[in-house]
Amino acid sequence: MTASPTVQVRRVYAPPAPDDGARVLVDRLWPRGLSKADAALDEWCKQVAPSAELRSWFSHDPTRFEEFRDRYTAELEDPERAAALDHLRDLLASGGLTLLTATAHPEISQAAVLAAILRA
């Protein structure tokens, strides 16, 4: 019996791990102070990131995370974002997937929301 591919969430500043699988940055903006070489990415999928307006409203406030999750999930129905989400599903099906974000608290980020959707 083979284990199904897993999806993980990590900070983009953390070094790659052997079990990362495809490493995909899911932020709209490039992380500050990080070179492309140091990021060790396979892809930057900014099309799946939340809108600038939603990101600004949320501002990584833990008290707003539930509403952020609901609003972001609704945004993922947009055709461009839905196609990017389907691409992430394809990457996951091909092997492991690590969603990367620059936020200090990845557990309350779009990467966490995406991981939950991909695990469902």
Reported as a single tens digit per residue, the pLDDT across 5-53 is 899 999 999 999 999 999 999 999 999 999 988 999 999 999 999 999 9
From the CA atom positions of the chain, what is the Rg in Å? 14
Does the pLDDT at position 1 exceed 60? no
Which tens digits make up the pLDDT trace of 74-85? 999 999 999 999
Does the pLDDT at position 4 exceed 80? no
Four-residue CA torsion sign, 96, 41, 85, 117? positive
Q: Are 41 and 30 in contact (CB under 8 A)?
A: no
Supply the pTM of this predicted model: 0.94
